[in-house]
Structure 1
Amino acid sequence: MTRIETALTRLLGIDLPIVQAGMSWASSAPELPLAVSRAGGLGVLAAGPMRPDDLRSAIRTVRAGTDRPFAVNLPLYRKGVEETLELLLAERPPVLIASQGGPRRYLDRFHDAGVLCLHVVAGPEHARKAAAAGVDGLVVVGAEAGGHPPPDLVSTLVLARAVAAAVPATPFLVSGGFADGHGLAAALALGAGAAQFGTRFLLSTEANVHPAYQRAVLAASVADPQPVGRDLGVIRAIPNAFTREMHRLEADGAALEDRRTRFSASTLKMAAFDGDVDRGKIEAGQSAGLIGEIRPAGEIVRTIATEYETARRSLPEAR
């Protein structure tokens, strides 16, 4: 198997600096993370929408299916988070990726259990706080990302360099705008130890989402996924009836609570699980416009690694 070694791959024990994003519904089942981990990357189970019994079963299925590392992503704002943290402590996945909350509430417990802890950050200030708390590494999410980009919408290119300068001793991976091996080469050149791919794996055969959701993402151009939900927890989503209504409310200066009511009435589940791509939230990154087909996740990992080598060899040497 091809190996691309960085400080982060050594830390995580993976062969390739390719991380599959924890995406609610898409990776809230074992098939996608298992395929990515088997291929040498880091597969990530998305615990956000999962019931405790389903999460426990999925962790055990992934562990039984590979001896390679994998991760569980947990948004700390979710209902019943303490129960989920206790479940994860009992199951001890190799890596925990936590988001949308402070690391101090879980870090000591998971380190004592031998679990590596990565924390999702949206800027250098959050990165400094997480590093000071003692996290093992960071996930830096830029504006191009689907789901929840940073509220100030700073690009991945700038954010990666800002975090690298802010916490030079802390390994990190970057997310937002990556779809192929050329993007991976760019991520490593920025100082990251890996790139995280979300939308690219959303468009995989193992992604646990409705075909209508995948078709909508596959049809998108790079300009289609737009930020929506100012002051409400911005998401990047493909235009539909939901986004058009939100943009109208924002343009009309609607009150925050009126916008919150409309924003909350549509969910990711409606699009990703139920297939309602008109009223649901079709969350996707700008890299959707770089992807032309749905492929098996393991094949995607191997292609990214091959493309990385091509990109690396094509760079001009200094003379």
Structure 2
Amino acid sequence: MSAHIPEGEVHPPKSHPPEERAEAWSSAAEAYDDFAEGATRHFAEDAVRLVRLRPGSRVLDVAAGTGVFTFAAARRGAEVLATDFSAGMIEAIGRKCAAQGLTTVKTAVMDGQALTVEDASFDVAASLFGLMFFPEHDRGLRELLRVLKPGGQAVVTTWAPPSRGEMFRLIGSAVMKALPNLPPPSKPPHWAALGDADDLRRRLLSVGFARAHVVSVTHVWTFESPEWLEQRLSSMSPASAGLFEAMNAAQRETFRRALIDDLRERQGEGPFAVTNEGLIAVGTKSSGT
């Protein structure tokens, strides 16, 4: 079984957006795990191939979420510390480690912007689709850099901008049918600040990484049915839960019907799939620091 390092769940002020509150992610942990594992698993496999990861490597997974990077690294013989500020997410990772017989994984509740681990103690530090939600992106990147050994590598993934995401377009179209008077967002979501490859590379270099590169990767995500997808959208993240809570019953039904009809019009009786584009950034720490 995985070992758990007991620490308290991290609770930012209630005024923070829901995706920055640990208790909101803990409430969504089961639905998010069911929804996101399939959408992110292939990106984790890419990420482990883009860093020097060997049997016995010490790996830190920050904002580990569903644990897809943790499991990919552990299966390759790495010793992994999986961290997340949500106790619910960490409990789910622990259960899956036990079910898979992974004995080289430890877990801890930890704030990715203030990691309670020693400097220069890991060969690889990762954050897959987690650091993008941090209130201060650069602070999270500096923490990854701090905990790396000289010559160590950090790998960070984020989604491409919403305009390039098929899932975002599908959901956005259904929302507009359900809420036709909803004003467009005044600015892109906070996480989208990491969605430009050149800017992301410059950001890694600016916080102190000696080298950095970013690749764009697209994967096909398949799922059982439009109904399976629709049923999970309402609770799969704090932001989506807030959106659906704001709808009345008629609006939720309009959204449901619009999403299902859109997918069936394009893909008939399936198999059902959408494409997801993500950016994978790798930063290397100087071997002299």
What TM-score does the superposition give when structure 2 sets the normalisation length?
0.36
Question: Which has the bigger relative contact order, CA under 8 A and spacing at least 6?
Answer: 2
